[in-house]
């Protein structure tokens, strides 16, 4: 049995770097010809001269936070897709942001991460990321199948039915968010259900705290993480617990000082910026909004690509809740739908490793009956769920009590 998903995962790192940089001029030329966005943003760039990381760093950055604006003026994909792209699906992620998919095998390049997590041909995998509108379920589905696994497209929720499936079909693997795996294990423990068939997990969409990883290990499950996005697909993956994320093949990743074009020195925290050689959806210096840092040295597993330290926060106020992005613009949309509210702030916390949203709303409650306030809370709650696709608690606070610091989303969860 082969040791790596791609044999080139253990190639000389200098040769990998040289190969990727040699591809840049032709790829930038292609993107300028095929994609309206790059035709405009790179119009003054001589692609033939972009042959090093230093020269790449002079190119403009396209930020994930730009996508809603770009797509609003040039639907559906903001001109980032190639004119000749062979697309099979378009997804809607929170924002809304629209993301494409070519339905070719392993288009998201996730096979690498599943293979590193021990998934092999014939394994039965319960996939608990959503297949509804957002691409998460399909991203993991394609990666598991690339390893020859058989996928149960379970999606999230319906824990009793999920446990029935585990007991009946006895899958060897789980993929999805770490918090949902904990929900399944806790319910199984309470109801004395058997989940012992699951011995491996690839988790994504949320941070994996050390204490939760230890719980999985105690349950006989080795859980490794994948770092992926709906735009890029796989960015990095673990091969050894808590040993950094190995960058996926066929990507150039920079760590850039937030708000600038400038890469930081190795080890300094900055924003993850990706160049992906995807002919359907070229991404050149695409800023993910995630913070990380280069991790020194090579992995003991033999893979030689650069590593990053994992998720270290957000460069903007966008945050991810239960695997779904929530944007400051969405909270403003909620406020605009309830104009008697002068200001809102969304706090995101974690209870027993499950994400919780709490929306504080400034309101002068004088003149409101208790019934009026209950009705207003219900209405705001419904609007929050409609816009973010997530539920949260609502609290009215006095006018002027929220800090005047420009913060709309306050992520209070621990990192790592």
In three-state secondary structure terms, 3 is coil
104, 74: one domain? yes
> In the predicted model, is pLDDT for residue 407 greater than 80?
no
Q: What is the DSSP string of 360-392?
A: EEE---TT--HHHHHHHHHHHHHHHHHHHSS--
Phi and psi torsions of 48, nearest 5°:
-65, -20
* Domain membership flag for residue 171: yes
The whole-number average pLDDT for the span 234-242 is 97
Higher pLDDT among residues 26 and 1, named by residue: 26
* Domain membership flag for residue 260: no
41, 163: one domain? yes
Give the Cα separation of 408 and 392 in Å (integer): 15
355, 208: one domain? no
302, 402: one domain? no
Kindly state the percentage of the chain with pLDDT values over 90. 81
* Domain membership flag for residue 32: yes
Per-residue confidence (pLDDT) for residue 27, from 0 to 100: 98
308, 336: one domain? no
Strands 222-229 and 200-203: parallel
Q: What is the DSSP string of 13-75?
A: HHHHHHHHHHHHHHHHHHHHHH-HHHHHHTTT--GGG--SHHHHTTSPPEEGGGHHHHHHHST
* Domain membership flag for residue 241: yes
In three-state secondary structure terms, 41 is helix
Task: Point out the domain boundary residue: 312, 340, 361.
Answer: 312
CB 236 within 8 A of CB 246: yes
335, 217: one domain? no
**Lowest-confidence pick of 10-19, 297-306, 307-316:** 307-316
50, 184: one domain? yes
Give the Cα separation of 81 and 261 in Å (integer): 23
91, 184: one domain? yes
Task: Point out the domain boundary residue: 256, 289, 312.
Answer: 312
* Domain membership flag for residue 265: no
In sequence order, which residues have a C-beta less than 8 Å from that of residue 194 and are 6 or more positions away? 166, 167, 188
> In the predicted model, is pLDDT for residue 385 greater than 80?
yes
Per-residue pLDDT tens digits for 139-172: 999 999 999 999 999 999 999 999 999 999 999 9
Per-residue confidence (pLDDT) for residue 406, from 0 to 100: 61
The whole-number average pLDDT for the span 270-274 is 95
Q: Which residues on adjacent β-strands are paired with residue 250?
A: none
Give the Cα separation of 123 and 342 in Å (integer): 53
In three-state secondary structure terms, 237 is strand
Q: How confident is the model at residue 365 (pLDDT cuts 50, 70, 90)?
A: confident
| CATH at 361 | 3.30.300.30
* Domain membership flag for residue 74: yes
Q: Which residues on adjacent β-strands are paired with residue 253?
A: 274
80, 220: one domain? yes
Higher pLDDT among residues 55 and 257, named by residue: 55
Domain containing residue 364 = 324-411
Give the Cα separation of 299 and 400 in Å (integer): 51
The mean pLDDT value of the chain amounts to 94
The number of distinct structural domains making up the chain is 2
Whether a cis peptide bond, with omega within 30° of 0, leads into 76 is: yes
242, 369: one domain? no
Give the Cα separation of 397 and 416 in Å (integer): 31
The whole-number average pLDDT for the span 360-365 is 91
38, 152: one domain? yes
* Domain membership flag for residue 92: yes
Which residue, 42, 70, 69, is CA-closest to 56?
Answer: 42
| CATH at 307 | 3.40.50.12780
Higher pLDDT among residues 407 and 102, named by residue: 102
305, 395: one domain? no
Task: Pull the structure tokens for residue 70.
Answer: 């770009």
Per-residue confidence (pLDDT) for residue 405, from 0 to 100: 65
Give the Cα separation of 182 and 193 in Å (integer): 14
* Domain membership flag for residue 288: no
Query: What's the Cα-to-Cα distance from 111 to each of 5, 83, 153, 218, 290, rounded to whole Å?
Result: 7, 27, 17, 26, 22
């Amino acid at each position: 049995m082969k040791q790596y998903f791609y044999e080139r995962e253990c190639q000389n790192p200098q040769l990998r770097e040289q190969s990727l940089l040699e591809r840049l001029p032709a790829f930038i030329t292609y993107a300028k010809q095929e994609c309206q966005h790059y035709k405009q943003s790179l119009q003054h760039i001589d692609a033939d001269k972009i042959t090093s990381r230093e020269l790449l760093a002079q190119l403009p950055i396209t930020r994930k936070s730009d996508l809603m604006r770009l797509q609003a003026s040039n639907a559906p994909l903001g001109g980032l897709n190639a004119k000749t792209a062979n697309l099979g699906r378009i997804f809607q992620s929170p924002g809304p942001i629209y993301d494409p998919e070519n339905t070719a095998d392993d288009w998201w390049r996730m096979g690498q991460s599943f293979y590193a997590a021990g998934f092999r041909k014939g394994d039965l995998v319960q996939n608990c990321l959503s297949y509804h509108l957002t691409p998460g379920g399909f991203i993991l589905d394609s990666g598991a199948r690339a390893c020859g696994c058989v996928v149960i497209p379970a999606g999230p929720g319906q824990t009793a039915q999920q446990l029935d499936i585990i007991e009946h079909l006895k899958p060897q693997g789980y993929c999805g968010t770490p918090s949902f795996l904990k929900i399944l294990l806790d319910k199984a423990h309470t109801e004395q259900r058997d989940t012992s068939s699951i011995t491996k997990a690839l988790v994504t969409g949320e941070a994996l705290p050390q204490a939760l990883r230890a719980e999985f290990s105690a349950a006989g499950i080795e859980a490794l993480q994948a770092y992926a996005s709906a735009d890029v697909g796989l960015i990095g993956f673990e091969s050894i617990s808590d040993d950094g994320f190995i960058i996926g093949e066929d990507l150039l990743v920079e760590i850039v000082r937030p708000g600038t074009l400038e890469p930081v020195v190795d080890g300094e925290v900055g924003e993850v910026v990706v160049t992906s050689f995807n002919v359907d959806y070229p991404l050149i210096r695409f800023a993910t909004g995630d913070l990380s840092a280069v991790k020194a040295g090579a992995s003991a597993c033999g893979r030689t690509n650069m590593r990053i330290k994992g998720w270290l926060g957000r460069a903007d106020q966008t945050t991810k809740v239960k695997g779904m992005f929530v944007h400051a613009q969405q909270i403003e949309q909620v406020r605009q739908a309830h104009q008697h509210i002068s200001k809102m702030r969304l706090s995101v916390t974690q209870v027993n490793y499950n994400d919780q949203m709490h929306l504080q709303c400034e309101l002068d409650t004088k003149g409101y009956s208790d019934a009026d306030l209950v009705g207003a809370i219900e209405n705001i709650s419904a609007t929050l769920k409609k816009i973010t696709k997530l539920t949260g608690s609502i609290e009215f606070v006095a006018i002027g009590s929220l800090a005047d610091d420009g913060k709309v989303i306050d992520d209070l969860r621990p990192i790592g």
